[in-house]
Amino acid sequence: MRILIAEDDQVLADGLLRTLRQGGYAVDQVSSGSQADAALAGQDFDLLILDLGLPKMHGLEVLRKLRSRGNSLPVLILTAADSVEQRVKGLDLGADDYMAKPFALAELEARVRALTRRGLGTASSLIKHGPLSFDATGRVAYLNEQMIELSARELSLLEVLLQRAGRLVSKDQLIEKLCEWGEEVSSNAIEVYIHRLRKKIEQGPVRIATVRGLGYCLEKISN
C-alpha cells in the first residue's frame, strides 16, 4: 500500500513517515500544494494524507483538483484549523476523513487502516484467498490457519497479490505499490521476492502463476 503525505511541518511529517513505514506502508512526502498536485496527477497512491495549510497551493485546492480529475483516492485531511466551516468545506470537496492537530498517532494509524480498507471496498482488515490470509492490522500472514514467517517486503508483496487475487499484476505495478521515491528496485529484484514468497506459500492449494512477459497472478489450484 502506498501513501502520499502532503505536510510542510517537517517534524510532523518525519513522525508520520516513521510510523507508517513501521506499519508496512510505502510512504512518500511533499511539502507544498503544488508538489502534491503534481505527484497526484502523475502517480497512483492508495491514500492521501493532506494538510490544509500548505504553501504554493492550499490543501482544499489540491483536493478540488484531485476530484475534478475523477480520482476517487481516499483522502484524510490534517489541519490545525478545527472549525466547523473548514471541516464542511473539506468534506464537501470530497475528503473522506478529518483529523485536527494535535492528534494521537495510534488514532491516525487506525484511520489510515480504515480508509485503505474502504478504498479496496472491504470493511475487514483480513484479506483471504482460499486457505491463504493476511491480517493488515497485525501485518501477519496465515496459510491453513498457521502463521507464515515472511519478511516485511514479502508481506507487502503478498498484500498486493491478495488484493488482486485472480487478476494479473505486472512487475511495474508491483514496483509502484511497493517502492517509495528514490528507492531503486529492479524487475530482477521483484523476481527474487516472488521466488522467496512462492516457496513459503505454495505448500497449500494456492500458487503464484507467472505469465511470461506480463506479470503474476495469485490463484487457487484446482483439485
**CATH number assigned to the domain comprising residue 24:** 3.40.50.2300
Q: What is the pLDDT of residue 122?
A: 61
Q: How crowded is residue 50: how many other Cβ atoms within 10 Å of its Cβ?
A: 25
Based on the fold, state whether residues 6 and 114 are members of the same structural domain.
yes
Q: What is the pLDDT of residue 222?
A: 63
Buried b (16+ CB within 10 A) or exposed e, 23-48: bebbbbbbbebebbbebbeeeebbbb
Based on the fold, state whether residues 6 and 94 are members of the same structural domain.
yes
Based on the fold, state whether residues 64 and 9 are members of the same structural domain.
yes
pLDDT band at residue 48, thresholds of 50, 70 and 90? very high
Instruction: Return the top range by mean pLDDT from 31-40, 152-161, 178-187.
Output: 31-40
Based on the fold, state whether residues 115 and 151 are members of the same structural domain.
no
Based on the fold, state whether residues 215 and 168 are members of the same structural domain.
yes
Based on the fold, state whether residues 12 and 54 are members of the same structural domain.
yes
Based on the fold, state whether residues 19 and 115 are members of the same structural domain.
yes
CATH number of the domain that 166 lies in?
1.10.10.10
Q: Where are the beta strands (DSSP E) in the chain?
A: 2-6, 26-30, 47-51, 75-79, 97-100, 126-129, 132-135, 140-143, 146-148, 206-211, 215-220
Based on the fold, state whether residues 109 and 215 are members of the same structural domain.
no
Give Cβ neighbours of residue 141 (< 8 Å, ≥ 6 apart): 132, 133, 134, 135, 147, 148, 150, 155, 158, 201
Pairing of strands 140-143, 132-135: antiparallel
Cα atoms found within 13 Å of the Cα of residue 109, Cβ hemisphere only: 18
Q: What is the pLDDT of residues 187-215, one digit of tens each?
A: 788 888 899 998 888 776 888 888 888 88
- C-alpha torsion sign, points 188, 190, 194, 196: positive
Average of per-residue pLDDT across 107-116 = 89
pLDDT band at residue 41, thresholds of 50, 70 and 90? very high
Based on the fold, state whether residues 8 and 113 are members of the same structural domain.
yes
Of the residues 102, 119, 136, which one is the last residue of a structural domain?
119
Phi, psi angles (nearest 5°) of residue 206: -135, 155
Domain ranges, residue 147 = 126-220
User: Percentage of the chain with pLDDT > 90?
Assistant: 29
- pLDDT of residue 49 exceeding 90: yes
Inter-residue contact 143 to 135 (CB < 8 Å): no
Q: What is the pLDDT of residue 204?
A: 67
The model carries a pTM of 0.75
- Kindly state the cell numbers that stand for 6: 502532503
Q: What is the pLDDT of residue 130?
A: 83
Q: What is the pLDDT of residues 132-163, one digit of tens each?
A: 888 877 788 888 888 989 888 888 888 888 88
- pLDDT of residue 129 exceeding 90: no
Domains in the chain: how many in total? 2
Of the residues 103, 119, 135, which one is the last residue of a structural domain?
119
Q: What is the pLDDT of residue 124?
A: 63
Of the residues 119, 153, 175, which one is the last residue of a structural domain?
119
Based on the fold, state whether residues 84 and 187 are members of the same structural domain.
no
- Nearest CA to 27 out of 189, 185, 184, 179 is that of 179
Q: What is the pLDDT of residue 103?
A: 86
Based on the fold, state whether residues 63 and 153 are members of the same structural domain.
no
Based on the fold, state whether residues 36 and 141 are members of the same structural domain.
no
Average of per-residue pLDDT across 104-112 = 90
pLDDT band at residue 62, thresholds of 50, 70 and 90? very high
